[in-house]
């Protein structure tokens, strides 16, 4: 059967999905996807997976995709970050049997993406992106899709989208923010950019950005003309967003915890989800925030969630008729509702014109260290975060990870082990002695006369065939 493309892929394979849960690192795991699907999500993406690691690490494949096969979890798109056409396609070939499409992440704006040279930091390398999409479109049995961020200029964003479509992209998700718009500098997403892209391409387009409730979904589709709308933060704070409901937080927290018991995931994922679900309540009952952070087991996390439910029910019993939610919230704190990220503080250094990390990295500027870094400095007063003082690591010739300083092949340990095994060579720098061990093994065998060829030894001699006496073995 030929591979479906464009609108045929969207309407038949993806069922004409309009309500989409975004790929979120450590947050769109199987348990959360199943919860979201129960409450109106029609299509989900996996968390972003590293193509290089996916190719070389069988455990990584098992933990992130292979062990999570679930009939309820379809349609599903697997997202990879990559910057090498061959590696991207190798990873996609290993994943295509477990999903309905492969997505290339061109939207991650975080510093880790800049250091790893992927995500939104590839958006100016059009030749590389063309080669990646072309090769994937040619080799894969499932369609390839892309998730992008916009350029400040609408016309450049349109040309970017058209280039990806021409290369073989079958569905495009457009996050209406630039790569500089993140964290406290996020601001509003530009639906004008998304609308312009939708008009300029002949493939389905999903919009991402400014989605906090079902009304936003409907308004976005009406204004931009897109086929579907993707939600990340809105979904994390209210998984029933696509149903148009705002239920009590404990209703969805309890349901999610039940799913986690059936489909386990790392406790850090569970804790992060509960922090977002209970976000507004934890502003009121702050002591329980510490308890949730300290919980070391699923039972411990569940106990804190149960206590939060009791506190909320007590708050409800004390609620006076006609009383309005505190803090300007649309609903009382025990109701699932949007979280609006605060913008940069007025009067802050540089007027908030540069990112927090840029401020942190200014020489000698310790006043704007993140809380996490301040805690580290309290534990170790001599610790510095000056990037110029950090050791510079030479890169592995094959995968780009830090190489061993004494590696004879100039590789990291993982790549060195594969090469040394293949070539039966030694690398003292990594403690790999394949050649030495083989030589010792051969020398030992030569020194053992009873291990000679059994065909050359006489009957009854060591290593020879047994003597037959009277039809029985001697």
Give the catalytic positions in this structure.
Answer: 108
Spatial distance between the Cα atoms of 19 and 41, rounded to a whole number of angstroms: 5
Q: DSSP code of 241?
A: G
Spatial distance between the Cα atoms of 250 and 220, rounded to a whole number of angstroms: 29
Spatial distance between the Cα atoms of 266 and 207, rounded to a whole number of angstroms: 30
Helix (H) or strand (E) holding 19: strand 19-21
Spatial distance between the Cα atoms of 50 and 334, rounded to a whole number of angstroms: 37
Nearest to 107 by CA among 207, 226, 224: 207
Structure tokens at 292: 């949730």
Distances in Å between the Cα of 253 and the Cα atoms of 209, 299, 403 are 25, 13, 44
CB count within 10 Å of CB 456 equals 9
DSSP H helical ranges for 240-370: 249-262, 267-277, 279-284, 286-294, 298-317, 356-360
DSSP H helical ranges for 169-227: 191-200, 214-224
Q: DSSP code of 51?
A: H
């Amino acid at each position: 059967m030929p591979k479906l493309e464009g609108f045929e892929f969207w309407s038949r394979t993806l069922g004409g999905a309009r309500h989409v849960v975004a790929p979120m690192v450590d947050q769109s795991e199987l348990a959360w996807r199943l919860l979201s699907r129960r409450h109106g999500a029609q299509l989900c993406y996996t968390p972003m997976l590293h193509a290089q690691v996916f190719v070389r690490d069988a455990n990584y494949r098992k933990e992130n995709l292979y062990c999570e096969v679930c009939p309820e979890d379809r349609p599903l798109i697997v997202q990879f970050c990559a910057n090498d056409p061959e590696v991207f396609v190798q990873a996609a070939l290993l994943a295509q049997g477990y999903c309905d499409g492969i997505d290339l992440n061109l939207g991650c704006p975080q510093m880790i993406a800049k250091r790893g040279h992927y995500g939104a930091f590839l958006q100016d390398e059009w030749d590389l992106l063309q080669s990646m999409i072309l090769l994937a479109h040619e080799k894969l049995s499932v369609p390839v899709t892309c998730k992008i961020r916009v350029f400040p200029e609408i016309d450049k964003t349109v040309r970017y989208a058209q280039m990806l479509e021409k290369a073989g992209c079958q569905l495009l998700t457009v996050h209406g923010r630039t790569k500089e718009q993140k964290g406290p500098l996020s601001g509003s997403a530009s639906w004008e950019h998304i609308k312009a892209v939708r008009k300029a391409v002949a493939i389905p387009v999903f919009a991402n950005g400014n989605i906090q409730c079902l009304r936003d979904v409907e308004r976005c589709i009406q204004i931009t003309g897109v086929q579907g709308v993707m939600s990340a933060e809105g979904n994390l704070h209210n998984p029933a967003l696509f149903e148009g409901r705002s239920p009590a937080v404990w209703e969805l927290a309890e349901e999610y915890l039940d799913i986690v018991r059936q489909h386990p995931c790392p406790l850090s994922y569970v804790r992060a989800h509960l922090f977002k679900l209970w976000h507004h309540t934890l502003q009121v009952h702050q002591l329980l925030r510490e308890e949730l952070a300290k919980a070391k087991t699923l039972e411990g996390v569940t106990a804190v969630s149960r206590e939060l439910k009791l506190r909320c029910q007590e708050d409800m019993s004390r609620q006076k008729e006609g009383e309005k939610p505190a803090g300007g919230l649309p609903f009382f704190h025990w109701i699932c509702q949007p979280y609006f990220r605060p913008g940069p503080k007025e009067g802050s250094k540089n007027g908030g014109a540069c990112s927090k990390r840029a401020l942190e990295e200014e020489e000698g500027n310790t006043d704007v260290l993140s809380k996490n870094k301040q805690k580290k400095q309290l534990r170790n007063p001599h610790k510095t975060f000056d990037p110029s003082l950090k050791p510079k690591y030479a890169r592995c010739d094959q995968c780009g990870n830090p190489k061993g300083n004494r590696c004879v092949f100039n590789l990291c340990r993982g790549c060195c082990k594969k090469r040394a095994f293949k070539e039966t060579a030694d690398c003292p720098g990594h403690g790999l002695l394949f050649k030495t061990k083989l030589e010792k093994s051969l020398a030992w065998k030569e020194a053992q006369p009873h291990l000679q060829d059994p065909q050359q030894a006489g009957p009854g001699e060591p290593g020879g065939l047994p003597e037959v006496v009277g039809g029985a073995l001697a």
